[in-house]
Amino acid sequence: MSSKTTFIGAVEIGTSKVTALVGEYTGREIVIIGCGECSSRGVIKGSVVDYRSATECTHNALEIAERDANERVDHVYLAQTGGHLEGFYNEASVNVKAADNMIEMDDIRTVCDLAKSKDLPLGRMVVHNIRRPFRVDGRLVPTLPEHLVGQRLEVGYWTVHGQEQRLADNIHVIRGFNLEVRELVLSSLASGHMVTSLEERQNGVLAIDIGAGTTDYVLYRNGAPHTTGVVAVGGAHFTNDISIGLRLTEGQAEKLKLRFGRAVVQSRDKNEKVWLDGNFAIGDRQFSRQAIESIASARAWELLEVVRKKLGHAFAPEDCAGGVVLTGGGAKLPALAECAAKVFGTTSRLGEAPSWVAENLRDPGFHTALGILYYGVSSLGDHTSASRRKGGFLRNMTRLFAST
């Protein structure tokens, strides 16, 4: 085996389940060699509320994945979600310094640093700085504008920041397994990267990842993420509404949601009844199908409306030729794409993993974990080369022992 081969773990600590994947990264490509899954405990709306329980199930998932891969993970990319994450846009511009108006790397560095530097409230930390395309004298430049000629260079950053303690809690859960967190990846970016194509991102597309506790979304424009966000509402809230509305336990409501829930009401007959279990057991009850569909569809509509409202002017159907792509476990609710099409006034579809993904990982619930690996690795290139320049032998030795 090549000495360059590293084994990367991708962990998503979700509200309903913890997913861990192990990828073998050769420096050129990544191959998924292990998968572990465990029911989540101690996590509410993407945030760790019970350290011991969350640690236990996360480590369990990691152990299963390592056993499946038959390899030790070297470091981890961790998905980040939760209602505490917020984003803002900040832009900056500089006058090109050179007398001949040719843009140098120094100009680019300066304008990027300016656009990224903004005071955050106390206790907040940057998770991602997502750069939007450069502009030279108002002209859009999708790549680095080095050696182009212009007088004014502008750039903007979408900065995602979160609460320090909540970020630290997630990191410490992984560190409890004596693994280094190499990268925090926003869940929406990970799943969005997985279910949208390059062309769709270029033309504009909105990816919505509906999890159990949170809904993450990312709007792409001109091939880059334009706006991201998190709504602290997910599939578990659908279950909760059904449970309250029909006076059921969470487990019973979940069962009904999975079997009869729909994002658009289909049943026209108020008297159409469905059995809770359908096994003729004592205590089995009947419920109105229309009632279940009405509750689920109202919640789905409301959730998508909230996303649209949070996007505000950033989303316009005419600028979003790729439409809306839904993913995540919650997206499996029947007719959700139809509901999204009505809410956003554009085409909508259920996201699918690329064809090369193995059959057992094609479920929408794995899209985030898969995306973490691929998004993380693709963003690693620059980071690694920068580290190599700064690092050297001692740094590598430190890493060797730190990651063991």
Identity at 338, one-letter amino acid code: E
**Cβ nearer to another protein, comparing 51 with 149:** 51
Residue 242 is encoded by which pair of tokens? 């059904």
**Cβ nearer to another protein, comparing 117 with 378:** 117
Window 362-401: residues binding another protein (CB under 8 A):
401
Residue 108 binds another protein (CB under 8 A): no
Task: Report yes or no: 369 and 79 within 8 Å, Cβ to Cβ.
Answer: yes
Smallest distance from the beta carbon of 100 to another protein, in angstroms? 20
Chain mean position to CA 302? 21
In angstroms, what CA-CA distances link 322 with 130, 191, 318, 336, 401?
Answer: 20, 16, 10, 17, 46
Per-residue interface string for the shown chain with another protein, residues 2-41, x marking contact by CB under 8 A: ----------------------------------------
Residue with tokens 């091939």: 223
Helix, strand, coil tally for the chain in percent (to 5): 40, 30, 30
Residue with tokens 């998508």: 304
Residue 172 binds another protein (CB under 8 A): yes
Smallest distance from the beta carbon of 180 to another protein, in angstroms? 6
Smallest distance from the beta carbon of 63 to another protein, in angstroms? 6
**Cβ nearer to another protein, comparing 230 with 236:** 230
Smallest distance from the beta carbon of 157 to another protein, in angstroms? 10
> CB atoms < 10 A from the CB of 262, how many?
21
* Sole window of 179-187, 278-286, 316-324, 357-365 interacting with another protein (rule: CB under 8 A): 179-187
Identified binder of another protein from the candidate list 68, 71, 164, 302, rule CB under 8 A: 164
Residue 184 binds another protein (CB under 8 A): yes
Torsion sign, CA atoms 293, 268, 305, 328: positive
Identified binder of another protein from the candidate list 119, 269, 318, 359, rule CB under 8 A: 119
Residue 127 binds another protein (CB under 8 A): yes
**Cβ nearer to another protein, comparing 51 with 278:** 51
Residue 352 binds another protein (CB under 8 A): no
Nearest residue to 232 via CA among 217, 216, 211, 214: 214
| Distance from C-alpha of 243 to C-alpha of 236, rounded to nearest angstrom | 10
Q: Return all residues near 66 (Cβ < 8 A) that are at least 6 apart.
A: 22, 34, 36, 72, 73
What residues make contact with another protein under the rule CB under 8 A?
51, 55-56, 59, 63, 91-95, 110, 113-114, 116-120, 124-127, 159, 162, 164, 167-168, 171-172, 175-181, 184, 401-404
